[in-house]
Structure 1
Amino acid sequence: MHTDLVAALDIGGTKIAGGLVDGHGRILLCAQRPTPAQEDGDTVMGAVEDVMAELESSPLWERTGAVGIGSAGPVDASAGTVSPVNVPGWRDYPLVGRVRAVTGGLPVELIGDGVAITAAEHWQGAARGHDNALCMVVSTGVGGGLVLGGRLHPGPTGNAGHIGHISVDLDGDSCPCGARGCVERLASGPNIARRALEGGWLPGPDGDTSAAAVAAAARAGDPVAVASFARAAQALAAGIAATATLVEIDIAVIGGGVGKAGEVLLAPLRKALADYATLSFVRNLEVAPAQMGTDAGLVGAAAAALGQRTGTLAAGV
């Protein structure tokens, strides 16, 4: 039987998704379980095993030749372990070995979730056709990944491109990571909302204090909401410009929940980027919204597994 499919896992603090994916990035079968994030490590692994069991029960499983995992991080691909910040039961958890055992010894490729989304956007989304790209996830946190020279660049541990923890404000607030003034501390959804509230923004009668509510207020012209998004955009622009200057990317793709704010974020981001990306080789840097949506994690994990098998980013690329 020809093994033309890969199994993909997308593991986050809220849900564990699995899929069987073909060489064109199509998800032929999906399974999902809630992440029991506050339980012990083996309970969390039980949810992963439930997802895998559902995939393995399909007749398509016999066409599956490898497994790709995109996981919330930090991950350590060299050791096959994961330590997701929002899943305290998993610290240096041997996820690759456990998944390999469940699948009867199939090869398993592990990358961070930001790298997975980057792989998806480069294979099938907004970064398609670009050999050098930064893809960012701006959400509860800020993550990302790199494509360099036409190939996914996960780095030795699978975390390369983690732009959220570039420091862009040397005297800024301390970040939970231990550094100061990180992009994430300024541009993540919760921090956009926090800054708006501290500045005197008042939520509507529904009491919604999310970044999406701040985005809606900014769209309606609320000056405090506009200012909070402008500050987030400035931090993102500084991080993107630093990355572009270092490795010469030609497109930055913005995804994640905050990325869905659209021009409320992208317009000030492009304006701020013009102030930071001033050297000739970064001046024409394109900024684009992500295209892959909620399937990005699965498609990207599949791309990484296919890339290991074919020596490229994904089969046929």
Structure 2
Amino acid sequence: MDSRTDHLVRKLRLRHLELLVALSETATMRGAAARLHLSQPALSKMLGEVEACFGARLFERSHQGMQPNALGASAAYRARAALHELERATEEVSALQRGAVALLRLGAPSVTAAVPAAVAELRRQMPGAVVQIREGRVHELIQRLLAGELDCVFGAVTPELLASDLTPRLEPVLMLEDELCVLTAGPPPRAATGGLRWADLSDSPWMVPPRDTLVRQAFMTAFLNDAVPPPAPVIEVMSSVTIGALLRADPQLLCAVRREHASDELARGGVRRLEVLPRVPLPSFGLFQRREDLQRPRVLGAFAQALRRVSGTPPPARRGARRARPADAK
């Protein structure tokens, strides 16, 4: 620990960290004072103490209120992460006191076959593990991961994520390939010689997600690549619960979904997957953790191993391992 950090540790209090977060989120002295149950003069004094500790001005006053400058935004971000880590410590100690052997905070989409299977596998290998699953969109979950609210996130590597400035701060633990799948509860359509193609299904009644989704875009691309116009869906829906119910209620429907969603529906029964050529890849799924974490909980490694087992993904090659040459094969 260098001298400046040592100085901060000695001078800063947790209340100072709460002040940084409150001011960055409310943008007014009055709002931050109300959140922290302090008077505005007391809050102003605390802000002076914080800025003295950092040796810099962190917030700028304007007619719009208190706005963090670049230094203040960075300090508030780190303060928020530190408070989340303290919250994690409190949760872990509480869970261990109740008899748990480990606590995993996992972010995942609401529809996934791999995560439930991996959690069950983890519980078999580590019976005392406690898992908290938070569901949502991958970009929002990644934000919560980087803020320290989650230990890892399982989600699709979307173009939005790749185009953001978040990717360099993430470390992939595991990557799973994904593809477009077609489900139906009815009999399979008659295929021409050589297998069922997308063009063969252009006149079928389709249920697909909205246009702004990756699945819908891949669905349209599949037909365009087969030299036929994409069919207009008879049902456009996003809810996985509604999709499953409609598939089983109307055997005439075909539905385009991710492989993760398809696996979940197939496990529930009553539907089948159609093999349609050519296969259409979708952005891979990944299990991500914070790159900056120095020491990761053992349960995170155990969960990654469980995810590999249930998905049939081989473990990562050891660094420095010699690759087999053709002459080595027998």
**Fold equivalence (TM over 0.5):** no
TM-score (norm. length: structure 1): 0.30
TM-score (norm. length: structure 2): 0.29
Larger radius of gyration: 2
